């Protein structure tokens, strides 16, 4: 097993995050500093920051209704005043898990937390094209021309064009418009940037579905374990 996959399965970080940890020289295999691409066997002694990692892993899966005002990271070490993280919203007794993907600081909604690195990779890999649905609110009305531009794909910056997406207006009056937007990709700040292109800055943004998995029964800031059926569903998306 590749070292980054091993670390992901330990709940240390996603594979990408594990690559960064390895590059920082914080991981050893049998006393030698690990390198990207190294393999690990069940008999190898692996440490992170001097602490031994077990080869036995118990997977945990959580669904969180993320509120505004917290970040999707294990530790907020890149700011002078660390902000609240999604980890603080986990129930007592939760194991060592990490958020799958990210929602912006000011974005609410559905986020999965797990130590299952393989599932995390599947849910975030671009080639998976897993649909994610968001509730979007903009100021005033939005025209059919603007909607069609968004559905067909807009250029966020030179050479970067969004894929086609589904957009349905669910509520509108002269003061605001609410929409459901379903994407199958995950560019950085994609929805906010999309709507800025057509001159309709986003006032409110919330992820409400991952595939057919919803936030039903969860208030803002609440978290629960996923059922076996839900885990099976996510693994087969």
Q: Which amino acids are annotated catalytic?
A: 104
- What distance in Å separates the CA atoms of residue 190 and residue 161, rounded to the nearest whole number? 10
Per DSSP, helices labelled H in the chain are 3-9, 15-23, 117-124, 144-152, 190-197, 228-235
Nearest residue to 164 (alpha-carbon basis) of 196, 138, 192, 131: 131
- What distance in Å separates the CA atoms of residue 182 and residue 165, rounded to the nearest whole number? 6
The angle at the Cα of 81, spanning 76 to 62, to the nearest 5 degrees, equals: 30
Residues in contact with 14: Cβ distance below 8 Å, sequence separation at least 6, in sequence order = 8, 98, 100, 117, 120, 121, 124
The angle at the Cα of 189, spanning 187 to 195, to the nearest 5 degrees, equals: 105
- What distance in Å separates the CA atoms of residue 137 and residue 84, rounded to the nearest whole number? 25
Q: Are 214 and 208 in contact (CB under 8 A)?
A: yes
The gap between the terminal CA atoms of the chain, to the nearest Å, is: 24
Per DSSP, what are the bridge partners of residue 59?
Answer: none
Place of tokens 């902000």: 83
């Amino acid at each position: 097993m590749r070292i980054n996959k091993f670390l992901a399965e330990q709940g240390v970080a996603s594979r990408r995050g594990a690559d960064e940890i390895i590059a920082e020289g914080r991981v050893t295999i049998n006393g030698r500093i690990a390198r990207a691409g190294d393999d690990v066997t069940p008999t190898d002694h692996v440490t992170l920051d001097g602490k031994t990692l077990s080869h036995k892993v118990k997977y945990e899966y959580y669904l969180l209704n993320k509120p505004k005002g917290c970040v999707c990271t294990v530790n907020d070490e890149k700011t002078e005043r660390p902000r609240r993280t999604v980890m603080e919203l986990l129930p007592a007794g939760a194991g060592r898990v990490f958020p799958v993907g990210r929602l912006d600081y000011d974005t609410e909604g559905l986020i999965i937390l797990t130590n299952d690195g393989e599932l995390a990779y599947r849910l975030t890999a671009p080639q998976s094209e897993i649909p994610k649905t968001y509730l979007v609110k903009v100021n005033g009305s939005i025209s059919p021309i603007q909607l069609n531009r968004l559905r067909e794909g807009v250029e966020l910056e030179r050479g970067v064009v969004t894929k086609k997406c589904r957009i349905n207006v669910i509520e509108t009056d002269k003061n605001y418009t609410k929409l459901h937007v379903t994407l199958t990709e995950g560019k950085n700040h994609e929805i906010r940037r999309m709507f800025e292109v057509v001159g309709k800055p986003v006032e409110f943004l919330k992820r409400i579905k991952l595939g057919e998995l919803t936030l039903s029964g969860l208030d803002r800031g609440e978290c629960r374990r996923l059922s076996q059926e839900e885990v099976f569903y996510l693994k087969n998306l």
